[in-house]
Structures are given as structure tokens and as C-alpha cells.
Amino acid sequence: MAQAVPQTYENHVRIIPVFHMGLFGILLLNLGWSVYRLYRAFSFETVVGLLLAIGLLILFFCARIFALRVQDRVIRLEMRLRMEKLLPADLQLRILEFTPSQLVALRFASDAELPELARRVLTEKIEDRKTIKKMIKQWNPDYLRA
């Protein structure tokens, strides 16, 4: 998939304006309006309206979290298969030692860079996704990441 700007650590986070700003903004306005209505005229209907507004916000966040969790599970599988092909024999025996967070971060390493970086992550016990991503020199873009 050709992109106008190559993906890097600095620009790999994906924001979908309609979802992250549009829908979230509407849900916040709805929550604010529900609180205002409850304050101005306390009734069963305004309490239900506020509970629905809160429920919709919770649903919004859960939908995002669930999508990312499923995506991370797929990345873990993808990375384990990729590592079986690319890592030397001594590191292949240690694939299960990688945490999900480490695997997700290593996903952006190029095939050439992955063996060395994987060894370093394990030996230095680097856990932080951002730290691992910043160590990558040859970025392997993922334009489909949600």
C-alpha cells in the first residue's frame, strides 16, 4: 500500500478523525447535555438520559479497546511465525519469552533488523513498547494498524 509519507515511529499512530474526534465529540456533548438536563430538571427521564450517555461513552471506549486487543492477538501470532523463520536457532527457543507488548513493538522492525533487536530486547529485558519502537532503525510500516 503506497503512502504519500513513509511511516516512522513519529507518525505511526493512526487517528481516524470521524471516530476519534467526531464521534467522541458528539458523545461528550451528549454527556454534557444530559448532565445539564439533570441539573435543570431532575426526573426519572433525565437520570435515564444521563445513564445512557455514560453507557454510550463506555461502549465507545470498549469498542476501541476490544479492537486493539484482537489486533494485538493477531500480531502476536504473526510475530511468532515471523520469528520462527527469521531468528537464529538459539533465539527460536526463546520466542515464548517475549511478552505481548514486546511482540507488538517488534512488529515494526524490518526482517534484517529483527534478529539483533529481538536478542537485545530479551537480554536487556526491555519491556516498554515505546523504547523498543525507538530502537528500530529500518521501520517496517503497518498501514492497516487500527
100-134 pLDDT, tens digit per residue, is 999 999 999 999 999 999 999 999 999 999 999 99
Is 81 within a domain? no
Tell me: the pLDDT tens digits for 132-145? Answer: 999 999 998 887 77
What CA–CA distance (Å, rounded) separates 146 from 144?
Answer: 6
Is 50 within a domain? yes
pTM of the model: 0.76
Say if residue 65 is in the same domain as residue 25: yes
The predicted pLDDT at position 129 comes to 93
Is 1 within a domain? no
Is 10 within a domain? no
Is 77 within a domain? no
Single-letter amino acid, residue 124: E
What pairs with residue 139 in β-bridges?
109
Is 79 within a domain? no
Is 8 within a domain? no
Say if residue 23 is in the same domain as residue 62: yes
What CA–CA distance (Å, rounded) separates 79 from 107?
Answer: 6
Tell me phi and psi for residue 142, to 5 degrees. -130, 90
Say if residue 96 is in the same domain as residue 127: yes
Q: What's the number of domains the chain is made of?
A: 2
Is 76 within a domain? no
Say if residue 66 is in the same domain as residue 26: yes
Domain interval for residue 29: 16-71
Say if residue 22 is in the same domain as residue 48: yes
Say if residue 60 is in the same domain as residue 103: no
Give the total residue count for the chain: 146
pLDDT for residue 90 is more than 60: yes
pLDDT for residue 1 is more than 70: no
